[in-house]
Amino acid sequence: MQALTITEKILLAHSNKKEIYPGEFILADIDFCLGNDITAPLAIKEFEKLPAAKRRVFDNKKIALIPDHFTPNKDIKSAEQCKLLREFAKKYEIENYFEVGRMGIEHALLPELGLVRPGDLVIGADSHTCTYGALGAFSTGVGSTDLAFAFASGKCWLKVPQTIKFIYYGRLNKWVSGKDIILHTIGDAGVSGCLYKSMEFSGEVIEKLGMDDRFTICNMAIEAGAKNGIIEADEITLDYVKQVHSPQSTVHRKRKLSTVNCQLSTDLKSDKNAEYCEIKEYDLSKLKPLVACPDLPSNVKPAEELENVRIDQVVIGSCTNGRLSDLRIAAEILKGKEVHSDVRLIIIPATQNIYLQGLREGLIEIFIEAKAVVSTPTCGPCLGGHMGILAKGERAISTTNRNFKGRMGDPESEVFLASPAVAAASAIKGKISVPEDIL
């Protein structure tokens, strides 16, 4: 029997082939697809060009439309984009359309609602769709025309990627998180070191991580050029899946758990003799909090070496680090302290449910008392959209995933990427700092 990686198993199961090999093209059936207010309008316009007889969506339950980038609408253009999504969703009875007040940042919202499951094949017109690999799913970003094709057919053309296995050993030091692990990895591999490869994350460190850290790691696989990031579905994964599908869940149950039988399946693990194009191993015992300096996620340095770098703005949020555990870490550091008078601290819970839970736990109160501003869920500042645009010469440290030139505003501004712990400590000090400088 052919030995396969997790990624190859999922792609094989979603194709009509009996065997599968890296480098070959397949027409794969998808379990779920998604678009946002920036990318879905292009897909919708292409879809509407189809002949009337073919103009129907493949499954109105397997499409999600999430207006999360320039929302709440920042201008007339963004309002028109969102209106297009709203009207398309109504016309084709798309069940998973999430209006302001119900929406969240897409890659945090969909797992929270149980819309993505282990073993699924998911595509999205957003490069950080690779986030769902944390659930043991194959998920990848596609272009808007690919999404239009998926709307109509439920299929997507894919080239089977080679897989690089990353094995992490050791015990993490305090304040070292999934963000530091993936920054360390990208710093070593480079922004094109995993080009069109599958990044399979494994080892004793990964096995002990909670889901939020796993989401962060897989979210940034694209920053190394990868096609997807993926982590074996284990008991931690399935506990998370059971929780979001529980009748006691604080969010609405969206998809039945029919394909996940609450038992681990060998199909969600790579075979012992599976072939990898490369295996990379890291001892993380001495890893310290890291920062990616301008203008690449791979330009990584220890935070303690940057303690004289003054900042103007801090952003804690995004599809990378806007989850509840991220807010808890930030609140632990900010409690009883104030943001530096020269700094703007913007905190963005990734979903309405996270926001609400933050309120119940008193986290939002801590942020407000610390002189931070708390926003409704939005991707806004991450891509220089709104809610925190940088002016010429300004410098931000952010828990987002990209720091390309001009990413968050003026081309002459600078963005540093870090964990919520480093971001919160930096907000207090007014310069890049580690939590030990504060506590």
- Give the C-alpha separation, 323 to 319, whole Å: 8
Asked whether 68 and 37 are in contact (CB, 8 A), the reply is: yes
Residue 398 and residue 333 share a domain: yes
The predicted structure's pLDDT at residue 246: 64
Residue 45 and residue 192 share a domain: yes
Residue 235 and residue 119 share a domain: yes
- Give the C-alpha separation, 137 to 134, whole Å: 7
Residue 35 and residue 77 share a domain: yes
**pLDDT tens sequence across 48-102:** 999 876 789 999 999 999 999 999 999 999 999 999 999 999 999 999 999 999 9
Residue 427 and residue 278 share a domain: no
The predicted structure's pLDDT at residue 299: 97
Residue 326 and residue 257 share a domain: no
1 within a domain of the structure (yes/no): no
**Residue 142 neighbours by CB distance under 10 Å:** 24
170 within a domain of the structure (yes/no): yes
Residue 395 and residue 368 share a domain: yes
Q: Per DSSP, what are the bridge partners of residue 27?
A: 157
Asked whether 321 and 128 are in contact (CB, 8 A), the reply is: no
CA-wise closest residue to 212 among 436, 420, 388: 420
- Give the C-alpha separation, 237 to 132, whole Å: 11
Kindly give the confidence (pLDDT) of every residue in the chain, 439 residues in length, as a single tens digit, with 9 standing for 90 and above. 789 999 999 999 999 999 999 999 999 999 999 999 999 999 999 999 998 767 899 999 999 999 999 999 999 999 999 999 999 999 999 999 999 999 999 999 999 999 999 999 999 999 999 999 999 999 999 999 999 999 999 999 999 999 999 999 999 999 999 999 999 999 999 999 999 999 999 999 999 999 999 999 999 999 999 999 999 999 999 999 998 876 655 554 455 444 444 344 557 899 999 999 999 999 999 999 999 999 999 999 999 999 989 999 999 999 999 999 999 999 999 999 999 999 999 999 999 999 999 999 999 999 999 999 999 999 999 999 999 999 999 999 999 999 999 999 999 999 999 999 999 999 999 999 999 988 8
Domain boundary among 266, 283, 300: 283
The predicted structure's pLDDT at residue 251: 53
Residue 331 and residue 244 share a domain: no
Residue 168 and residue 89 share a domain: yes
Domain boundary among 216, 250, 283: 283
Residue indicated by tokens 């940034």: 220
State how far the alpha carbon of 329 is from the alpha carbons of 16, 302, 388, 426, 434, in Å. Answer: 46, 19, 22, 13, 13
Residue 234 sits in a domain whose CATH number is 3.30.499.10
- Give the C-alpha separation, 11 to 159, whole Å: 10
141 within a domain of the structure (yes/no): yes
Residue 229 and residue 332 share a domain: no
**Residue 86 neighbours by CB distance under 10 Å:** 16
Say whether the peptide bond before residue 295 is cis (omega within 30 degrees of 0): yes
Which one-letter amino acid corresponds to residue 55? Answer: R
60 within a domain of the structure (yes/no): yes
Predicted TM-score (pTM) above 0.75: yes
406 within a domain of the structure (yes/no): yes
Residue 352 and residue 237 share a domain: no
Domain boundary among 240, 263, 283: 283
How many structural domains is the chain composed of? 2
Residue 337 and residue 242 share a domain: no
Domain extent for 309? 291-437
335 within a domain of the structure (yes/no): yes
CA-wise closest residue to 147 among 24, 22, 58, 23: 58
**pLDDT tens sequence across 26-61:** 999 999 999 999 999 999 999 999 987 678 999 999
The alpha carbon dihedral of 171, 177, 181, 184 has a sign of: negative
The edge-to-edge listing of strands for the beta sheet with 278-283 is: 228-231, 197-202, 162-169, 278-283
